Amino acid sequence: MGIDIEQEHQIADMKKFLTKPEQRAELDEGFIPTYDALCTFKRAVQETPERTGIVLGFERENGLVRRIPFDIFSPNHPDYPANFPLVEILTQGGVWGYGAGILHVGVPREARDIGHHLEHVYSTGGARNFDAAMMGGPIYRREKGFAVEVKDPDDVPPESNIAEPVGGYRNGKRIGVDYGGTDEKLAVVVDGNVLMTAENNANYFPKEIDDPEYHFRVFREIILQGMRYLDKHNYGKPDAVGVSAAGIYVDNELRLASLFKKAQDYARAINDAERAGRARNTFLRIQQELGVPMVVANDGAVAALAISMDERSPQVLAGALGTSTALGGTNPHGNLTTELYEGAFMPIDCRAEDSPIDPWSGANCAERYLSQSGVIRLARNAGISENEMSSSLNPGDQLKLVQTMAEERDPRAQKVFEGVGVYLGYAIPYYLLHWPGAKVVSFLGRVMSGRGGEIAYKKQMEVLERIVPDIYTAAIFPSPGTEKARLGQAVAAASLPYIR
């Protein structure tokens, strides 16, 4: 039925494709970029006549499919066993990048064991059980759960996609809110003019609270703050509210989000469907109470929208580094598609051993690198002591502490943000393997603000220039800037709703 990726002999088969990167993260010597490994694997396959084709089809809602063909070693090649872990890495990236309720694995009959391996790892108890449970359950709500279908390559469904214009509207009286894990940001915009911005991080710990009414109160209050501003300045009631929030939302309903993880987990643990429903419908409840049209979008999509509006470019890949790792993009026409872009769970590092593990998914994924978690981990590697990084501080305050040290020119903090820059320098071409052709690439978010963000950006550009000079010269990589990095998404979120 296939080989488990954790088995030692398979790790050994994979190791020849895992080389130390040219541009190293000084504080993380074990880092092996997935981008490098996939490129090395692809080159090795293309250099031998003993290869065969495989097609992965990632099918999401309404039968939409992203179809990815590529070559692997044929069964008579000595490196055939290396196909298993590397195809699994490719699949993990596609499942979270494109989204999939059904995974179609098109393989020749002589290589069917690769398809059966994916069946195994995406089954109950398999290495990717979390991915399967999330895709088949809260994200796509398939009655039969997530499915892996092994078939001939020609039987994988054809590619199909849809895109729609979302956001970028400037007319009317608008409130934009960016709900993060450590703070919430507000923008009041009237006819395209930003009248007011604000941040709140006092008594704000959404990831730590299991009571859905807490989320309802704090999220509603910052919208009310914007409404009070409009009323005080004689603008009256807002025409619409746009919300940027980490997670997956469909028609303003929560499907999956780390912000609500404790609230959802507790409701499930005590088998309280009503409580779970209150968490799931937080934004719908706020919309109903306030009587204002609202659009809620993933923070990665809003980051892409912010960059697209700012740079006036139709094809954008953008992200936000904060509590987690957000990712989003627009197609060549400047529209958002329904692909998942859940960059937090995509694997940017494929070291075989001793990798940092995300406690939610149980996997090594981008969230452990491109977020406040990555900063905190590197800070400990830099020798910033437990006394300095007091455990009494929440992760958001620990991030701010390291950022303050960077402002004060502490060399340890300098190395921390250089490490983030190395991660970004290798993550960007990895993400562009999935969404090639972006004309503008930019990452915003709390981590990228201040001097620390400047250090990370500078190192990111050094890495890109060395490892992917073609991408470095073909795309624009705007510097985030503190104001844009921290408040740009709230302003862009305000543009989400269409006002007649």
Q: Cβ(300)–Cβ(328) under 8 Å? A: yes
User: Which residues sit opposite 317 in a β-bridge?
Assistant: 329, 441
Considering only CA atoms, give the Rg of the chain: 22
CB 412 within 8 Å of CB 447: no
Quick check: 281 pLDDT over 60? yes
| pLDDT at site 2 | 37
Q: Report the chain's terminal Cα–Cα distance, integer Å.
A: 56
Contact 378, 368 (CB under 8 A): no
Distance of CA 130 to the CA centre of its chain: 16
CA–CA dist 398, 376 (Å, integer): 7
Cα–Cα nearest to 333, from 308, 296, 311, 310: 308
Residue 333: burial class (beta carbons within 10 Å; 0-12, 13-18, 19+): exposed
d(CA 124, CA 226): 46
∠ CA 117-56-43, nearest 5°, is: 90
* Tokens representing residue 56 in the block: 């992965």
Question: What's the rounded mean pLDDT across residues 109-138?
Answer: 95
DSSP line for 351-369: -SSS----TTTSS--GGGT
Q: Does 251 or 57 have the greater pLDDT score?
A: 57
Which runs of E-coded beta strand occur in 350-487? 440-444
Q: DSSP assignment, residue 166?
A: -
Residue 390: pLDDT band with limits 50, 70, 90: confident
Give tens-digit pLDDT for 366-388. 999 999 999 999 999 999 987 88
Q: Would you state the pLDDT for residue 485? A: 58
14-to-36, 55, 97, 247 alpha-carbon distances in Å: 13, 21, 23, 32
pTM, full prediction = 0.90
**For the chain, what's the residue count?**
500
Domains of the chain: 8-161 (no CATH), 164-296 (3.30.420.40), 301-494 (3.30.420.40)
Query: 468: pLDDT confidence band, cut at 50, 70 and 90?
Result: very high
Query: Contact at 8 Å (CB) between 120 and 131?
Result: no
- In DSSP notation, 31-98 reads --BHHHHHHHHHHHHHT-S-EEEEEEEEE-GGG-EEEEEEEEE-TTSTTGGGHHHHHHHHHHHHHHHH
Of 170 and 3, the one with more pLDDT: 170
Residues 103 and 60: their CA atoms lie apart, in Å, by 9
Most distant CA atoms of the chain, gap in Å: 76
Query: Among 160, 41, 158, 62, which Cα is nearest to 104's?
Result: 158
Contact 54, 67 (CB under 8 A): no
Provide the 8-state DSSP code for 138: I
Burial of residue 39 (CB within 10 Å: 0-12, 13-18, 19+) is: middle
Mean confidence (pLDDT) of the chain:
91
**Residue (of 91, 260, 102) closest to 181 by Cα position:** 260
User: pLDDT higher for 389 or 499?
Assistant: 499
pLDDT of residue 157: 98
Beta bridge pairs of residue 144: none
One-letter amino acid at 344 equals: A
Alpha-carbon distance values, 62 to 100, 256, 306, 338, 344 (Å): 11, 19, 28, 10, 24
The angle subtended at Cα 266 by Cα 100 and Cα 294, nearest 5°, is 60
Q: Which of 112-121, 157-166, 354-363 has the highest mean pLDDT?
A: 112-121
pLDDT digit string, tens, across residues 203-220: 777 888 888 899 999 999
The answer to whether residue 436 scores a pLDDT higher than 90 is yes
**Alpha helices for 251-361 (secondary structure H):** 261-269, 273-280, 282-290, 299-311
Nearest to 485 by CA among 255, 235, 335, 307: 307
**What is the 8-class DSSP label of residue 137?**
I
What gap in Å lies between CA 129 and CA 127, rounded to an integer?
6
Q: What is the pLDDT of residues 318-362, one digit of tens each?
A: 998 988 999 999 888 888 888 999 999 999 999 878 899 998 888
Is the confidence at residue 153, as pLDDT, over 70? yes
Do 59 and 74 touch, CB atoms closer than 8 A?
no
DSSP 8-state code for residue 188? E
Token representation of residue 446: 């709390």
Amino acid letter, residue 134: M
Distance CA 269, CA 290 (A): 31
State pLDDT tens for residues 174-207.
Answer: 999 999 877 899 999 999 999 999 988 767 778 8
- CA 99 to each of CA 85, 92, 135, 343, 405: distance values in angstroms, whole numbers, following the listed order: 20, 10, 7, 11, 39
Predicted local distance difference test score (pLDDT) of residue 3? 37
